[in-house]
Amino acid sequence: MERLERALSDLKKGKIVLVYDADNRERETDMVIASEFVRAEDIRTLRKDAGGLICTTLPPWAWKRLGIPYLAEIIEMAEEKYPWLKGMRANDLAYDERSAFGLTINHRRTFTGITDRDRALTVSRLGEFIKEIDNKGEDESRALFGKEFRSPGHIHLLNARDGLLDTRFGHTELTTALSLMAGLSGSTTICEMMGDGGNALSKEDARRYAEEHGYVFIEGKEIIEAWKNGKRDGIRRV
């Protein structure tokens, strides 16, 4: 529990936390930061020291209120016009039954959207935006979302599953749950840590990196245990 408490504390301070999912899942470690605190230097760290795909999670209530579909649903809808897309359905994932990918977005004040500053603006504003629409209706929330953000863009949104860690144990749900347990927006920005040998960074090397850089390293099973043992008390929507 000591690592969990430190992870929650670091997230609230805008610090990076390392989260390993599980030996029987992706076997990957993600760099994680609460979206509302992301700065250009954080994007640079994720880009250079992690090296995977930078994505931003949305808690279930948020993506539903904003009407953000899963990317798989968009592709299925496009199959009527482009029937060959049926052959590309992601129905053979070795570690999951469904991808969490939703839309890709840029903030409207970005230029290309890919620079560290542009991505930091998109992510941090999204984290704040989620809190701002907490008491707004769907129509107003969606109108405000379209006014401030555009799609496609350079930030990949991940839709967290209903029930979070009651139903799915991916990095999307693990880190969203961490954010909520820390009393934050529920949105995290994450990036897989890649090794130099062509594969994901090993758990041992990720743990060593955490020690060398002063980051907390926590495993998914620790987050799941805390979630199921009452750490989610007081969280209104999962």
Active site residues: 30, 55, 95, 106, 154, 192
The position carrying tokens 């016009």 is: 81
Radius of gyration, CA atoms only, the chain: 17
User: Which of 18, 13, 65, 20 shows the shortest CA–CA distance to 34?
Assistant: 13
